[in-house]
Homo-oligomer: A and B are copies of this chain.
Amino acid sequence: MAKTDSINVRVFSLNCWGICYLSKHRCQRYTMIGDMLCKEEHDIILLQEVWSEKDYLFLKKKLASSHLHSHYFKSGFFGSGLAIFSKHRIHDTFLYRYSLNGYPYMAHHGDWFGGKAVGMAILSIGSLIANVYVTHLHAEYCREKDSYLPHRVVQAWELQQFVRHTSVGADVVILGGDLNMHPQDLGSRLVRSYTGLQDAYLEAAKFDGCENGMTLIADNPFINKTELVPFEKGIRIDYILFKGSSKVDIYCDSMSTTKGSIPDHPFPYSDHEALTAHLRLESHNLTETRRHGQSGDEDHAAGKVAELVNIVTEARTEVKVGLHCAERMRYTATRTGMMGLALLLLELAIAAVPWLALGTEHPFPRTSFYLLAVLCFAILVTTLLLYVFYTMELKSLQGAEDQMRLAVGSLQEKLRAFPLFQAHNSERICPEGQDPSTLSPGE
């Protein structure tokens, strides 16, 4: 197994906070970001919250000489905000829009209008195929009472599905972005465990940046410190994740983050800190792949699968909470709509049958009558739209839960195929009359 190549790849990720008219010093910050990216010449640049296409085109122009290849992912009302710039040729792109992404009527949160998604670009780095993903998950507005948690868990579920199923042929997999989840949050664990992606911050041989790799810090002047409570110093929600393949080993030689302020500049690049990872790809000229693990690894592999079963089960529970909540909201919408309909019918009855108006001395005032009818009609239309929306939310949650149930079953089946597990659980094997030894643990 002779090492033939070592390629250094510098990956950059930043949530640019590029909300038109709302984000402070947007234009100056994009100029700063463009200047820095031009100078630093990272191989791969993954940006989030580039909400305006004009800002993307500004950066594209600025990076025209250093980064020949780029792609802007469009989705939703504002766009997905995701952009990728690369020194290496982008051969193909693909976008997966998350099925759940908040509520359109929560316009002040705006996530629904952003059309959150995960974008994929297939790059060739030398002779290697790299699948590069950039994503941005639904924001967490209140950690104590996070009504978006089921949506974010489903997004994490879909993210891992997308990465797992589309990266089979890749030699290198790199994922960067704002996951809006702490490292030990359910969704983070789900993505890392299921895809096998490693966290550059944890794997880095050297690290230079904020304490604990935080990317949303109290020292950043754009941050409202009260929103960080109880994490006074900050939180880590932006990541660069990576994995190699049977053909390539990947190492993180060093990692860095910005630290809230930028020397010689009045303000930082964004309200998030920027991440840079120096990855080293060690490729091999293999005639035989190492896809099928040595038998000595089996204990470890079985442990991983068992852990994954627990995480997916936990995610299922969270999705069920979301299901319960969506059902309640749909029920409320239905009940309100019914009340509106009843009132409208009552009004129509009053109009059609004059004696219902209880005497003619005090007839129902015509203006109030019409206004009430309009109100009833507005309630009916609004609740109908809400009913459609909540039903679609329910279908997505149910769909995710079904997929999770199936995945847990399949993982448990895989677990049964491990010899050690078999020895310990011989009585639980093959409930469906199938011989688990025929199942490949490497599926």
Contacts and interface: CB of A to CB of B under 8 A. Distances in A.
Given A93-B403, A124-B439, A166-B165, A74 B432 contact: no
A75 B99 contact: yes
Q: Which 3 A-B pairs have the closest CB atoms?
A: A168-B169, A74-B399, A165-B166
A165 B439 CA distance: 24
Contacts of A228: none
Contacts of A99: 75, 95, 97
Contacts of A432: 68
A231 interface: no
A94 interface: yes
A142 interface: no
Interface string A363-401: 000110011001000000000000010011001101100
Contacts of A434: 89
A425 interface: no
Nearest to A74: B399
A222 interface: no
Interface string A86-116: 0001111111110100001000000001010
A58 interface: no
Interface residues of A, number: 56
Interface in A394-443: 395-396, 398-399, 402-403, 406-407, 410, 413, 432, 434, 438-440, 443
A68 B431 CA distance: 12
B124 A71 contact: no
Interface in A124-141: 124, 127, 129
B115 A395 contact: yes
Interface string A56-95: 0000000000001001111111010000000001111111
A161 interface: yes
Interface of A: 68, 71-77, 79, 89-97, 99, 104, 113, 115, 120, 124, 127, 129, 161-162, 165-166, 168-169, 366-367, 370-371, 374, 388, 391-392, 395-396, 398-399, 402-403, 406-407, 410, 413, 432, 434, 438-440, 443
A93 B164 CA distance: 12
A94 B124 contact: no
Number of copies: 2
Contacts of A92: 165, 406-407, 410
Contacts of A439: 124
Contact of A402 (B74, B113, B374, B392): B74
Contacts of A162: 94
Contact of A395 (B75, B96, B388, B410): B75
Contact of A72 (B77, B104, B402): B402
A177 to B, nearest CB: 18
Contact of A76 (B76, B366, B392): B392
A59 B161 CA distance: 28
Nearest to A98: B97
A208 to B, nearest CB: 34
A406 B90 contact: yes
A127 B440 contact: yes
Contacts of A399: 73-75, 95
18 contacts: A71-B402, A71-B406, A73-B399, A75-B395, A76-B392, A89-B413, A90-B406, A92-B406, A93-B402, A93-B403, A113-B388, A120-B165, A124-B439, A124-B440, A166-B168, A168-B169, A366-B367, A370-B374
A94 B410 CA distance: 14
Nearest to A410: B91
Contacts of A73: 399
Contacts of A96: 96
A43 to B, nearest CB: 16
A89 to B, nearest CB: 7
B392 A77 contact: yes
Q: Name which of A74, A93, A439 has the most chain B CB atoms within 10 A of its CB.
A: A74
Contact of A392 (B115, B165, B410, B443): B115
A98 to B, nearest CB: 10
A115 B395 CA distance: 10
Nearest to A438: B127
